[in-house]
Amino acid sequence: MTQQLDLFADLASDPAPVPATFAAPPKPQAVKQAPRPKAVPTIEPSPQQPRRSSGPRPVREPHRRALEIGEAVAARWHNLHGGTAIEVPIGVVAALCLIRQKDLQGPDLKEQILNQDGPQLICMLREIWSTHWLHRPDLIDRARILHEWLNDDVDRHREHAVRAITETALRQGLLDLTGHEDPYLRSATDVLSPVMTSMRSHGAQKGLGEYHTPAPIAEALSEMITLENLADFKLALLPPKQGMHLHDPCAGSGGLLRAAAQRIREHGADPKNFQWSMVDIDPIAAACAAVNAIVWELGPRVTVACADALANPKAVEDAMKEARAVFEHRDEVFGKASAIAGIRKMQRLLESIAA
C-alpha cells in the first residue's frame, strides 16, 4: 500500500550533522539540487480512500488564503472554548505545515489525516515533531512551546479541539499552500503569521509590541533590500552573493526573510547557500520562525533566537551555543538508542542460535 505522509522530504535515515552555521562558514558552492532520500512512512491508507491525479496546485492570492486560514482557525478554537493556550492550535497548524504528500498519484493526504480519530491524530502530531527533531533538533527545540503540550496526557476536550482545528485548517486549503514539493511554492506566503495574530487579541498584540509586516509589503521591501542592502551587508550587484548572512533582529515569524529567500531563488541562487538568523522576543513568534525555516528550506545555516535584540546584541551567538548543545544531546540520545538496538539484535541472534 502506498504511504502518503511525507514528514520531511530531506530527512535522512541517520541524524543530520551539526549545521555549518555552528562551525566555520562554508565556501560558496554552485547551486545544485540535493538528492531527496526516502521519507519516513506514518499513515496506512485505506484502499477505499479517494485517489488524486496531481498534487497541490499554486494558489492565487496566497496571502489572502493564509489570512482566511488564520481567521478560521481562531474562530473555531474560540467557538470550542479552547482556552488561553493558543500554542495548541498554532502548534497543530505548524505540524501540518511540516508534511506533504509523497505520492501524487496515491490516496489523498488530507483525507487520510481527516479519517483519523482523536488518539490517532495526537500520535501523528507527536511523530511529526519527533521525526523533525532528529533532523533539526535546534529548530524543533526552539519551537518547543508549540509541541511540549503533547508530552502530557491529552484529555477528551483538547483532543476534540485539536481534531476540529486540523479539520478547519485542511478544509481551508492549508496543504494547497504548504504541501508542495517545490520550496518556492511552499514559500509563497507565511501561514503561521496570520494564525498567530488571529489567535491573539488586539490588546495582547499591542502589549507585546507585535506588528507583523504584511506579506505584500515584505515582498516589496525584500526586492529593494536585495538590490540595496540587508542587515548591514551590501548587496550592490545581482545575484546576491552566496554565503552572505541575512539577519532580522525583530523577525516575528520570519516574513521578511521569507520574501528575501524568494527573491534569491528568483535570481537563480539557492537560500541554502546563505546564512540566516532571526531574533524575536516572543517565544511563540520565535517558534513559528523556526518551523518556517524548515518549511521554506532556508538550509542548514539557520539560527533562531528568542531574546530582546536591543538588550542582548549577542542573541544570535548565544542561540548558536544553545544549538550546539542541542545537537550534542541529539547525538548522545541517538548513540544510546543505536547501542540498545545493537544489543537487542545480538540477543535475538544468540536466542536463534540456541534454539
Enumerate residues 6+ apart whose C-beta is below 8 A from 192: 90, 93, 94, 97, 253, 288, 291, 292
Give the closest residue to 230 by CA, choosing from 210, 211, 250, 256: 256
Where do the H-state alpha helices sit in 11-143? Answer: 62-79, 87-97, 109-114, 118-135, 137-142
Cα–Cα distance, 199 to 205 (Å, whole number): 10
* Axis crossing angle, helix 283-295 with helix 87-97, rounded to the nearest 10: 10
Contact 305, 277 (CB under 8 A): yes
Contact 305, 344 (CB under 8 A): no
Domain locations along the chain: 5-22+37-50+62-320
Contact 258, 225 (CB under 8 A): no
Q: Is the peptide bond before 239 cis (omega within 30 degrees of 0)?
A: yes
Cα–Cα distance, 131 to 41 (Å, whole number): 11
Contact 231, 279 (CB under 8 A): no
Residue 224's pLDDT is 46
Contact 82, 89 (CB under 8 A): yes
Ramachandran class of 183: left when φ > 0, alpha when ψ lies in -120 to 50, beta otherwise: alpha
Q: Please give the chain's pLDDT, 355 residues, in tens.
A: 344 554 444 444 456 676 655 554 444 444 344 333 333 333 333 334 444 445 677 778 999 999 999 999 999 999 998 889 999 999 999 999 999 887 777 788 999 999 999 999 999 999 999 999 999 999 999 999 999 999 999 999 999 999 999 999 999 999 999 999 999 999 999 999 999 999 986 433 443 444 555 655 555 544 544 444 443 343 433 456 677 899 999 999 999 999 999 989 988 899 999 999 999 999 999 999 999 999 999 999 999 999 999 999 999 999 999 999 999 999 998 888 777 877 777 777 777 777 6
